[in-house]
């Protein structure tokens, strides 16, 4: 709804810019939310982006800048005068600045770093050194710190004096002279306390925190587990170096879910929106997996070839191969998707593995029984095959599903135990394994029962 309004107004706005009616264009955009202004800028042509950007009120422009794609940010930075760049960098939160710099070519980074003060430059350089996808790489170093001996009134003074540039002021961090984290105080605590109470007496000392090298996904999960607005990040010496705020945690949660879905569908994960990814980039992400899976499928072909005689003797068996393979693959895919998501949300631990395998085995027997019963009737009444062939098909069906569910649930856990990403063992890879096993079962049961 919101989006449509923006995209409808885009054409009207472009007309205003073409007519150089800047006053009207300014009036049209000045009350936008930063995220909406960014979406609008994103849609404009390269020439018009800097024009509209300069028409935005200064604060809105800087806020919108943080929401833009790296391409548009680069384009604007190249177009900026020194003054403009300084103003934007001054307004930008440190973590947003770092996110941007990570995506820029070296010459643009140089231009940017020339226009920030030396303290900011030092902090940016420090944050750039944290590993990708770590808590350190998504945290901000702009938090409110308090001292244990302050009164509530002094704390408020400090918040008023330093808070304007902080990404969040609602959780304040109490540190000692060596920046060691001693406790936290929320603004709610402060508001509900007496003015002359001492921070030491009202701070919460049982503080949850993560390390700079903690995986960003785990940081986001901790934050969401405890319903925090921000989570402190400390170095190996327990010194507070930054905080992860809830808005960045939400972004991580969404990115990780997208990544899981991409990997489950056998694609290398992408951190770009679909429409912004080129055809070549998409090809690079998908082709290797398709190729790998195609080569794995050769085993299946090999198995079929080696049973050519049996198939020639009973051609009707061939027609059930797709149904058996698909059903096994679907069942294994259900199991693996469930387990991968459970591992990802932390709902399933290693100690649960026996329970998981037992459960998947039971579910496979139940589902397999249901499907086999339906299939048996269909085979006899509609396909008019003999009861021996029907038996072979139905027994294979149940056996394939049990194998599929065990592989589908066991493989992700095994991958995780080996330190691999469980997601890459998802549906397509499992399908390939299950196909091969299902065919082996099929032909061997056929030989046994039909005596071919």
Q: Rounded to an integer, what distance in angstroms lies between the CA atom of residue 164 and that of residue 184?
A: 19
- Beta carbons of 143 and 184 less than 8 angstroms apart: no
Number of residues located near a copy of itself, criterion CB under 8 A: 116
By CB under 8 A, tell whether 125 contacts a copy of itself.
no
Only one of the segments 18-26, 78-86, 339-347, 440-448 lies at the binding site for a copy of itself (rule: CB under 8 A); that segment is 339-347
- List the x/- string, 67-106, binding to a copy of itself by CB under 8 A: ----------------------------------------
* 451 sits in which H/E element: none
Which 8-state DSSP code applies to residue 129?
T
Classified as helix, coil or strand, 267 is coil
CA distance 445 to 452: 10
Residue 415 binding a copy of itself, by CB under 8 A: no
Q: What phi and psi values does residue 369 have, to the nearest 5 degrees?
A: -60, -45
Site for a copy of itself in 266-285 (CB under 8 A): 266-267, 273-275, 279-280, 282-283
Applying CB under 8 A, among 227, 381, 418, 451 the residue interacting with a copy of itself is 227
Distance, CA of 396 to CA of 445 (rounded, Å):
7
Tokens of 46: 């390269």
* Identity of the residue, 7 or 15, whose beta carbon is nearer to a copy of itself in the bound complex: 7
Q: Binding of a copy of itself at residue 14 (CB under 8 A)? A: no
For residue 327, state whether it binds a copy of itself (rule: CB under 8 A). Answer: yes
Nearer to a copy of itself, 15 or 257 (CB): 257
Q: Name the residue nearer to a copy of itself (CB basis): 81 or 206.
A: 206
Does residue 58 interact with a copy of itself by CB under 8 A? no
Question: From the CB of 13, what's the least distance to a copy of itself, in Å?
Answer: 17
Check residue 391 for interaction with a copy of itself (CB under 8 A): no
Distance CA 67, CA 40 (A): 11
Contacts of a copy of itself in 231-270 (CB under 8 A)? 246-247, 249-251, 253-254, 257-258, 260-262, 264-267
Classify 270 as helix, strand or coil. coil
For residues 146-164, one letter each, b for 16 or more C-beta atoms within 10 angstroms of the residue's C-beta and e for the rest, the string is: beeebebebbbebbeeebe
């Amino acid at each position: 709804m919101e989006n449509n309004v923006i995209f409808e107004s885009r054409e009207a706005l472009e007309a205003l810019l073409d007519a150089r009616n800047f006053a009207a264009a300014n009036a049209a955009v000045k009350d936008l939310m930063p995220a909406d202004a960014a979406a609008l800028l994103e849609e404009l042509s390269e020439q018009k982006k800097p024009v509209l950007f300069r028409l935005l009120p200064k604060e809105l422009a800087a806020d919108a800048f943080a929401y833009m794609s790296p391409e548009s940010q680069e384009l604007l930075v190249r177009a900026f005068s020194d003054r403009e760049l300084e103003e934007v960098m001054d307004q930008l939160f440190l973590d947003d600045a770092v996110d941007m710099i990570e995506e820029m070519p070296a010459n643009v980074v140089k231009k940017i770093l020339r226009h920030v003060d030396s303290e900011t430059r030092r902090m940016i350089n420090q944050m750039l050194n944290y590993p990708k996808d770590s808590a350190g790489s998504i945290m901000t170093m702009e938090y409110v710190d308090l001292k244990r001996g302050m009164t509530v009134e002094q704390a408020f003074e400090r918040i008023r004096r330093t808070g304007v540039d902080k990404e969040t002021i609602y959780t304040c961090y109490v540190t000692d002279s060596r920046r060691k984290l001693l406790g936290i105080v929320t603004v709610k605590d402060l508001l509900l306390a007496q003015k002359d109470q001492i921070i030491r007496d009202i701070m919460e000392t049982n503080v949850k925190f993560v390390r700079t090298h903690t995986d960003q996904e785990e940081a986001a999960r901790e934050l969401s587990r405890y319903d925090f607005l921000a989570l402190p990040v400390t170095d190996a010496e327990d010194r507070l170096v930054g905080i992860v705020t809830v808005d960045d945690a939400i972004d991580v949660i969404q990115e990780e879910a997208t990544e899981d879905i991409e990997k489950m569908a056998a694609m290398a994960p992408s951190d770009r929106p679909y429409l912004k990814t080129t055809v070549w980039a998409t090809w690079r992400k998908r082709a290797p997996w398709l190729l790998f899976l195609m080569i794995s499928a050769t085993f299946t072909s090999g198995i079929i070839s080696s049973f050519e005689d049996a198939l020639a003797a009973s051609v009707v068996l061939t027609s059930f191969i797709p149904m058996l393979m698909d059903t096994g693959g679907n069942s294994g895919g259900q199991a693996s998707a469930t387990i991968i998501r459970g591992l990802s949300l932390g709902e399933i631990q290693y100690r649960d593995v026996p329970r998981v395998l037992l459960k998947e085995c039971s579910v496979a027997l139940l589902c397999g029984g249901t499907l086999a019963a339906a299939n048996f009737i269909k085979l006899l009444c509609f396909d008019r095959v003999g009861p021996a062939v029907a038996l072979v098909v139905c027994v294979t069906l149940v056996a394939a599903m049990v194998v599929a569910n065990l592989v589908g649930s066991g493989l992700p856990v095994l991958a995780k135990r080996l330190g691999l990403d469980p997601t890459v063992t998802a549906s397509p890879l499992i399908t390939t394994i299950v196909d091969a096993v299902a065919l082996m079962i099929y032909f061997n049961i056929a030989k046994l029962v039909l005596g071919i």
